Structures are given as C-alpha cells and as structure tokens.
Amino acid sequence: MFKALNDNAERWALLIFYLMLVATMTIEVIRRELFAYSSIWGEEVVRYCFIYLCWIGAAAAVRERAHIRIDVLLNYLPPRGKALIYIFGDLVTLALALLALWLSIETVQVSSKFGSVSHGLRVSMVWFLMAVPIGFSLMIFRLLQSLCRDLHDLRAGRPVYEGERLFE
C-alpha cells in the first residue's frame, strides 16, 4: 500500500484537482453562454484548483527530476561527478524549500489568526493558502527521497537517476 501511495500520490491528487478544474470551468462556460448567468464561486474554485495543481505538480516534478535544467555540462561528467552535482542541487533546493515552507506556514497562521475568507465561496482562506506549505512539504519529502537514492547510487557506483526525458 505504501509503495502504491509513494508511486501515485501526486498523480491522484493532480487528477482530482484537474477534474474539478475542468468540470467547474465547463459548467461555468455553459451557464454563461446558455443561461447568461455565471457564479462568483466558479472562478474561485478554478483558481484555487489551479494553485493546488501547480504546487503538487512541482513536487511531482521534483520526484521525476522533471524541472527545467541545463544539463549540457552534465553529459561530459563521469557518473560520480554527475551524482555529486545532483546531490548538491538537491541540497540547495532543500534549503530553499525549507525556508519557503517556514515562510508559507507563517502566512497561513496570519490568515488563520485574522479569519480571512474568500470572496465568493466564503470559505476560510487557510484552505487555499495551505496549497503552498503542502506543496513544499511534498517537495521536501521527494527531495529527501532523491538524496537517499543518489547517495545509495553514488556508494554503489551506479549512475544516478536523471528522470524521464521528454525529447530524445
């Protein structure tokens, strides 16, 4: 069960938020075009689903090493040098993600303290602002997994995982 969750957690979350986004947008377009009526909550649901999509997608990209990178020089390095560069990059990203997590939690706490709500849905903004700490928490988890994987590969003399290539 943990392996299935580890392999597919982000995919399922992305699927759910994407379906909510598409369904709400479709309903709102039909309502606007056929009935000349639109709701204020529809736009908010789509906006916040998109925000969750971005942050969870960022964590999924960390897992697959799919973020944009310039790897021309990496192609000329031996496996050990490549592993060290990836480990260094993961450590820098981890430090930035920890800082961003700390700052984003502070933002959520301020919103919770003052009881801010969204304009259309009248739901606490904490639910929507939590997308950032959730995304960075997932990124940190995936970075730690990546670091462990890279360190094991480095010790064993195997080439590091470089992610799936989009274009060959």
Has residue 34 got a pLDDT over 80? yes
Q: Scan for tokens 């597919």, then name that residue.
A: 8
Whole-model pTM? 0.86
Angle (CA) 110 100 129, round 5° = 40
Give the integer Cα–Cα distance in Å for 24 and 152. Answer: 45
pLDDT > 60? residue 167: no
State the average pLDDT over residues 41-68.
91
For the stretch 67-106, pLDDT in tens is: 877 778 888 888 889 899 999 999 999 999 999 999 999 9
- Residue 89 has φ and ψ, to the nearest 5°, of -60, -40
Q: Residue 25 pLDDT > 70, yes or no?
A: yes
Q: Are 60 and 14 in contact (CB under 8 A)?
A: yes
24-53 as b/e: b if 16+ CB within 10 A = bbeebeeeeeeeeeeeebbebbbebbebbb
Does 137 have pLDDT greater than 90? yes
pLDDT of 162 reads: 84
What residues are paired with 124 via a beta bridge? 117
Q: Give the span between the Cα atoms of 53 and 61, in whole angstroms.
A: 12
What span, in angstroms and rounded, lies between the C-alpha atoms of 139 and 64? 11
Domain ranges in the chain?
2-156
CB 52 within 8 A of CB 30: no
- Residue 165 pLDDT: 58
What pLDDT does residue 39 have? 87
- Per the CB < 8 A criterion, the answer to whether 77 and 31 are in contact is no
